[in-house]
């Protein structure tokens, strides 16, 4: 978030490599002897090269039995050959009909390694994934995994990999269990898929004061919002175009994919007086070192009206600037500009760590990373702060590392907002509106979690039916 309406930026780009590919895979015959007893698995790959930045196994699980199946009891295994004895892997979900927050991924080591498999990725489900009626399937689960060092993967010797499939088909080299019984697929010889994963990297550290909010509210007037420590902004002031107001009623809540979703709508008709912006923030500044995470949906296109406004969609932490260039100021931003702005011609994602600033004349002391590409859609955003650095992750991948000079001196609030920089991107009096959605927010005090550990912690809260938890001490 910008604390004034105009902040200038330098333009040192940080590139994010994305390993993608596609080809067709000839389906093997289904040799599982229990396919008719309850489950079948279809597979396709979205990264078909022999060597790739990441493996991208996509799945659909179908209930072929006669009774409803709770997905919480289902486990899939995808078998592969590690690229080295010491290689470690990370799991991520790009998109899923059932919701990525309801899908877990852990890794294990096979007891009896073969020429094509010594590890496996086990896919599980939280209670939020729900059940499958007879004949129903999960729909797309667009999954991926990669080496923690981002070294390329050799997929050509992986047992479960099929190099030539552009559409889903039954795939017997992936196993599926229900309540511990294998109902689909054939594991590599000598390896019983009933054994639990032996080296899951996603288990988060125990303990640690935590804020978790699933944004399970009814409206902006829901008294639980304030009781849970949030303020829906209505007071005037920046950032944003002169004359704009902050409209609490434009923050709404709905259900999607089995989860509660918070929506921030910003609208305008091309004047400050017609512009309504949105922001929600914690009332307490009590968050400092540790892990911050949120699942956020950025949108390139407006929900209605013409496109082109210089818009900012955010997730950030901040405290107050007590004086120009005060050295105890702190701010850490994810900021997405779907139509550019601040001198940028098109979409760009910034992460910025602020030491301080002065509004007049403008002086900025910060460090930032950026990527000039579209980020429309859901993204897992993770920020970690320890005593040595600030790290930003997008969808499980390190986006930027910022120096110790920008570490916070005082605690901060947690904020989401959406606002207009100016009207330079679109000269029109036609009304238009833009949405930014938020699935959840998480802070773990004084603990640095990996993105996979964040996903595991969120899944545990949802599995337990916890929609809000806050034991972070004040101040």
Q: Give 150-191 pLDDT, tens digit per residue.
A: 889 999 999 999 998 878 999 999 999 998 889 999 999 988
Residue 202's pLDDT is what?
A: 55
Per-state percent for the chain, helix, strand, coil, to nearest 5: 10, 40, 50
3-state class (DSSP) for residue 310: strand
Alpha-carbon distance of 411 to 425, in angstroms, equals: 36
The Cβ of residue 364 has, within 10 Å, a number of other Cβ atoms equal to 17
Percent of the chain with pLDDT over 90: 70
By three-state DSSP, how is residue 430 classified? Answer: coil
Of 89, 212, 257, 275, the residue nearest 467 (C-alpha): 212
pLDDT at residue 198, as a whole number: 58
In this predicted structure, the answer to whether residue 24 has a pLDDT above a threshold of 70 is no
| Helix ranges, 121-238 (H) | 223-227
Please compute Rg for the chain using Cα positions.
23
Report how far apart the first and last C-alpha atoms of the chain are (Å, whole number): 22
| 103 and 458 Cβ atoms separated by less than 8 Å | no
Query: Lowest-pLDDT range, 16-25, 104-113, 386-395, 414-423?
Result: 16-25
Backbone torsions φ then ψ of 101, nearest 5 degrees: -65, -15
What's residue 215's pLDDT? 97
Structure tokens at 227: 């009781």
**Per-residue pLDDT tens digits for 292-341:** 999 999 999 999 999 999 999 999 999 999 999 999 999 999 999 999 99
- Residue 202 sits at the vertex; the CA angle it makes with 197 and 205, to the nearest 5 degrees, is 120
- What average pLDDT is seen over the chain? 88
User: What share of the chain in percent tops pLDDT 70?
Assistant: 90
The more confident residue out of 366 and 15 is 366
* Mean pLDDT across 79-84: 94
List, for residues 252-283, the tens digit of each pLDDT value: 999 876 789 999 999 999 999 999 999 999 99
pLDDT of 195 > 50? The answer is yes
Residue 388: Cβ within 10 Å count? 11
Q: Where are the alpha helices (DSSP H) in 383-470?
A: 451-463
Residues in the chain: 475
pLDDT of residue 12: 29
User: In the predicted model, what is the mean pLDDT of residues 410-428?
Assistant: 95
Q: What pLDDT score does 197 carry?
A: 67
Q: Which of 29, 91, 40 is nearest to 65 (CA)?
A: 40
Provide mean pLDDT across the span 421-437: 94
Q: What is the band of 8 on the pLDDT scale with cuts at 50, 70, 90?
A: very low
Confidence at residue 77, expressed as pLDDT on a 0 to 100 scale: 96
Reported as a single tens digit per residue, the pLDDT across 232-248 is: 999 989 999 999 999 99
Q: Is the pLDDT of residue 14 over 70?
A: no
The confidence score (pLDDT) of residue 199 equals 52
Q: Is 10's pLDDT higher than 70? A: no
Check residue 246 and give its pLDDT: 98
- What phi and psi, each to the nearest 5 degrees, are found at residue 457? -65, -40
pLDDT beyond 90 at 385 = yes
C-alpha distances (whole Å) from 341 to each of 115, 264, 283, 349, 423 are: 53, 20, 30, 11, 10
- Between 388 and 27, name the one with better pLDDT: 388
Query: Can you give the three-state secondary structure of 257-287, one letter per residue?
Result: CCEEEEEEEEEECCCCCCCEEEEEEECCCCE
């Amino acid at each position: 978030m910008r604390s004034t309406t105009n902040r200038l930026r330098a333009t040192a780009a940080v590139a994010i490599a994305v390993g993608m590919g596609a080809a067709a895979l000839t389906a093997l015959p289904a040799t599982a002897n229990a396919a008719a007893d309850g489950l079948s698995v279809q597979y396709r790959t979205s990264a078909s090269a022999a060597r790739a930045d990441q493996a991208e196994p996509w799945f659909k699980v179908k209930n072929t039995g006669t009774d409803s199946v709770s997905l919480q009891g289902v486990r899939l295994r995808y078998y592969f050959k590690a690229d080295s004895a010491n290689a470690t892997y990370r799991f991520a979900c790009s998109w899923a009909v059932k919701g990525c927050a309801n899908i877990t991924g852990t890794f294990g080591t096979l007891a009896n390694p073969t020429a094509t498999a010594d590890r496996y990725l086990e896919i599980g489900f939280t209670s939020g994934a729900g059940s499958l009626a007879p004949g129903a399937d999960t729909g797309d689960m667009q999954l991926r995994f990669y080496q923690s060092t981002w070294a390329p993967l050799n997929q050509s010797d992986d047992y479960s990999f099929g190099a030539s499939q552009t559409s889903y088909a039954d795939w017997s080299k992936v196993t599926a269990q229900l309540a511990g019984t294998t109902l689909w697929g054939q594991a590599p010889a000598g390896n019983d898929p009933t054994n639990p994963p032996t080296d899951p990297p996603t288990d988060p550290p125990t303990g640690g004061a935590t804020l978790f909010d699933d944004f399970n509210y009814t409206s902006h007037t829901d008294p639980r919002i304030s009781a849970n420590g949030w303020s829906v902004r209505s007071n005037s002031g920046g950032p944003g175009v002169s004359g704009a107001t902050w409209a609490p009623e434009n923050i709404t809540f709905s259900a999607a994919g089995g989860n509660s979703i918070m929506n921030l709508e910003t609208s305008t008709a091309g004047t400050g007086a017609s512009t309504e912006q949105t922001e929600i923030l914690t009332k307490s500044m009590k968050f400092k070192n540790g892990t911050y995470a949120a699942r956020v949906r950025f949108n390139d296109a407006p929900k209605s009206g013409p496109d082109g406004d210089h818009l900012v969609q955010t997730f950030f932490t901040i405290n107050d600037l007590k004086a120009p260039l005060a050295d105890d100021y702190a701010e850490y931003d994810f900021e997405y500009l779907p139509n550019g702005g601040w001198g940028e011609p098109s979409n760009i994602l910034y992460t910025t760590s602020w030491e301080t600033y002065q509004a007049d004349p403008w002086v900025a002391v910060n460090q930032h990373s950026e990527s000039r590409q579209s980020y429309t859609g859901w993204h897992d955003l993770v920020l970690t702060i320890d005593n040595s650095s600030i790290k930003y992750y997008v969808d499980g991948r390190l986006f930027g590392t910022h120096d110790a000079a920008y570490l916070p001196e005082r605690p901060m609030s947690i904020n989401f907002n959406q606002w207009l920089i100016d009207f330079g991107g679109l000269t029109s009096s036609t009304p238009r509106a833009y949405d930014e959605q938020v699935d959840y927010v998480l802070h773990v005090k004084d603990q640095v979690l990996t993105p996979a550990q964040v996903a595991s912690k969120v899944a545990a809260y949802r599995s337990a039916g916890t929609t809000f938890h806050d034991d972070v001490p004040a101040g």
